[in-house]
Chain A
Amino acid sequence: MSLTIGRSLLLILFMLHVSVLSGIGNENDSSKKPSSHTLKLVQAVMCEDVKNQQPINPTLALSVSIGKAICFSSFESVTEKTYVVHKWIRKDVSVTKEKLFLQPPRWATFSRIHLREIDKGPWRVEISDSDGNILQILRFSITD
């Protein structure tokens, strides 16, 4: 009984955390298209690091001195093995594209790039499902 209550509390806390984080980054495009597999993106942020399946310091301006940029995304309704794509774009020029697999019960994933001086400037990451539907676009800058 106590175990059930504990699990329920943990789930509520997790949902609360997700709702707070999803409000961050209103510059990002919030229109999401439903996936053919009803994949639902619940959080997508740029962050400095990921620890314990959680993004550390979600931000819209990443300093090149950190040495890396991470795009963290988490989903719900992951009922079968599927994948999402993180497409990194600098000033309308595609830089890299990463295919990230989601496998029940795995619900969160992230991609990262290493930063160099020449990477400074405006960036965006397009998160799309396996059908190519763009779920969210994260806009951020790499700064000094």
Chain B
Amino acid sequence: MESIINFVNSFRWQDILDIAINSYILFRLYVLFKGTNAFRIMLGIAFLWFFQEIANYLGLVVTSWLFQGFTAAAAIIIIVIFRHEIRTVFQTRNLKSILWGMPRRKESTSIELLSEVVFELASTRTGALVVFQGKEDLSEIVGDGIPWQGLISREMIKTIFWENNPVHDGAILIDGNRVRLVGCILPLSHRKDLPIYFGTRHRAAVGLAEVSDSLTIVVSEERGKVTVVKGNEINQVEQPSHLTRLLNDFEKKEESSPEKFYRKERFNMAAAAVFSIFIISAMWASFTRSMDTLITLEVPIRYLNRQPDMIIVETSANMVRLYLSGSGTLIRSVRPEQAQVSLDLKDAVVGKNHFPLIPDNISLPPGINLNRIDPPAVEVVLDNPMEKELPIQVNWVGELSKDLNLSQVKLHPQTILLQSRGMLLNNMETVYTEPVSLDNIHKSGKVIVGLKLSSALKIAKDQKEKIKVQYIVQKKFQGENAK
């Protein structure tokens, strides 16, 4: 009981939103793809995933690994093989229909009108191929057809099959009271027992009947005859009334009364919604509520909002170690770049700043808990860049001849303008040259020498980097008191 209360108390509003969003997405996928082949394969993938989890739970290493492979491969296959079906689902609907639309009752086909038109085409020996979709989706079979979406009318049907129309040789797909596709290429039958007078249209109708539950009307161009193909049945029809009866029989098989249809649809939708919530909740629980796993991540610190006139001179740490916990699934999926440590330098001052690292400084993926931060605080030294003019001094080394005396030195220039951070320059009072040896100096002369500067110091623009040193050496006073 206590564990249930703890479980409920640990729910965050984000968790509920998370489950709700994903449940709705799953539900919408069901609504959009219901009845398609892609949906059946998606169900297969869901079962594969379910069995993989079971195998994983039971510790069946190879089985789990195989199912994992199958699931990944099937996910790719479904996109490649059923791309036409998926495209049709999204192309034939607007955004509102994709997000909110519910399945509507199929509009009834104008069967009498169609029957009359078909026989009018037959009387003028105009070839035609008219396909009525059954329960099976035909998108994958006739996916290359041209979208039409026109309401059925006598003139339009005749126009489509008019011999000068570029699409007159293909089949049309009837969906409700609309012509959904025209110019469809149907698969041809390879049966050997078909009558000799059956042309390509008949073979196409038989071929489609072999791979689907559709009904196809064929109007022969040569003989002016109307044939209906459904499953293994090939019936020649002589009268429009006969055709009307056959079509009515086919439509009745597909449709039920409006009340029954809506009642059944409501039940299906409710069941799908409940199932979606159940599936997503189970997935969410498996992701977030499994055994706690601990990991440690080394994450760089990002310093934000530094004032433009300040520079970061030194930090006590550039990386922090985050001790994280969470479900094994989530922890395994955490990448170091998903964890971020940020320090706001908005209120930082010149000199040493002490920043305790608190959870507000840490950004983690949802569902990951922060247990500890090491180090718990960071010292950041900030400084202002500045310029300072400093006198130059020669750094004499070596040994001057015992009888000589370095009596005078002139420098050109005598000072140098340096750029660096304030705290460094404020502590400097002199710039020294590179060592200048006295060993080889025997008379007055000059030497060009560079300055010895640390990498943090920069000579200002237009300042010379080399210094001319003019020196005068004289004979030492060798009086009795001189050393």
Question: Which residues of chain A have a CB within 8 Å of any CB of chain B?
Answer: 23-27, 29, 48-49, 51, 56-61, 63, 66, 89, 91-92, 120-122, 124, 137, 139, 141, 143-144
Contacts and interface: CB of A to CB of B under 8 A. Distances in A.
Interface string B197-219: 00000000000000000000000
Interface string B398-417: 11100001111111000000
17 contacts: A25-B407, A27-B409, A27-B410, A49-B483, A56-B479, A57-B477, A58-B405, A60-B396, A66-B483, A89-B429, A124-B430, A139-B391, A139-B394, A139-B430, A141-B394, A143-B397, A143-B400
A48 B404 CA distance: 13
B404 to A, nearest CB: 9
Interface of B: 391, 393-400, 405-411, 427-430, 432, 438, 476-477, 479, 481-483
Nearest to A123: B393
A7 to B, nearest CB: 25
B246 to A, nearest CB: 108
A92 B406 contact: no
Contacts, number: 81
Nearest to A91: B432
B410 A58 contact: no
A124 B397 contact: no
Contacts of B409: 25-27, 60
Contact of B399 (A49, A60, A143): A143
Nearest to B411: A27
B448 to A, nearest CB: 16
B402 to A, nearest CB: 8
Contacts of B393: 27, 122, 124, 139
A66 to B, nearest CB: 6
Contacts of B399: 63, 143-144
Contacts of A48: 482-483
Going nearest first, the 10 A-B pairs with the smallest beta carbon separation are A141-B396, A144-B399, A27-B409, A61-B406, A61-B396, A139-B393, A51-B481, A60-B406, A122-B395, A26-B410
Contacts of B430: 92, 122, 124, 139
B427 A61 contact: no
A23 B409 CA distance: 11
Contacts of A51: 481
A27 B436 CA distance: 15
A27 B394 CA distance: 9
Given A57-B477, A66-B483, A143-B399, 6 more contacts: A27-B410, A61-B400, A63-B399, A92-B428, A122-B432, A144-B399
Contacts of A26: 408-410
A59 B483 contact: no
Contacts of A89: 429
A136 to B, nearest CB: 13
Instruction: Pick from A27, A29, A57 the residue with the most CB of B within 10 Å.
Output: A27
B241 to A, nearest CB: 115
Given A57-B476, A124-B430, A63 B400 contact: yes
Nearest to B400: A61
A124 to B, nearest CB: 7
A92 B429 contact: yes
Given A29-B391, A92-B428, A56 B405 contact: no
B428 A56 contact: no
Given A29-B391, A48-B483, A124-B430, A61 B438 contact: yes
Contacts of B476: 57
Nearest to B407: A24
A59 B405 contact: yes
Nearest to B429: A92
Contacts of B396: 60-61, 122, 141, 143
A139 B399 CA distance: 17
Nearest to A27: B409
Nearest to B436: A141
Contacts of A141: 394-397
A49 B481 contact: yes
B420 to A, nearest CB: 15
A42 to B, nearest CB: 18
A27 to B, nearest CB: 4
A57 B400 contact: no
A121 B435 CA distance: 9
Given A124-B430, A141-B397, A49 B482 contact: yes
Contacts of B479: 56
A63 B479 CA distance: 18
Contact of A57 (B395, B405, B428): B405
Contact of A56 (B406, B408, B438, B481): B481
B396 to A, nearest CB: 4
Nearest to A28: B409
Nearest to A89: B429
A58 B427 contact: no
A121 B405 CA distance: 17
A144 to B, nearest CB: 4
B325 to A, nearest CB: 52
Contacts of A27: 393-394, 408-411
Nearest to B399: A144
B481 A60 contact: no
B76 to A, nearest CB: 70
Contacts of A57: 405, 476-477, 482
Contacts of A56: 477, 479, 481-482
A61 B437 CA distance: 11
A119 to B, nearest CB: 13
A22 B396 CA distance: 22
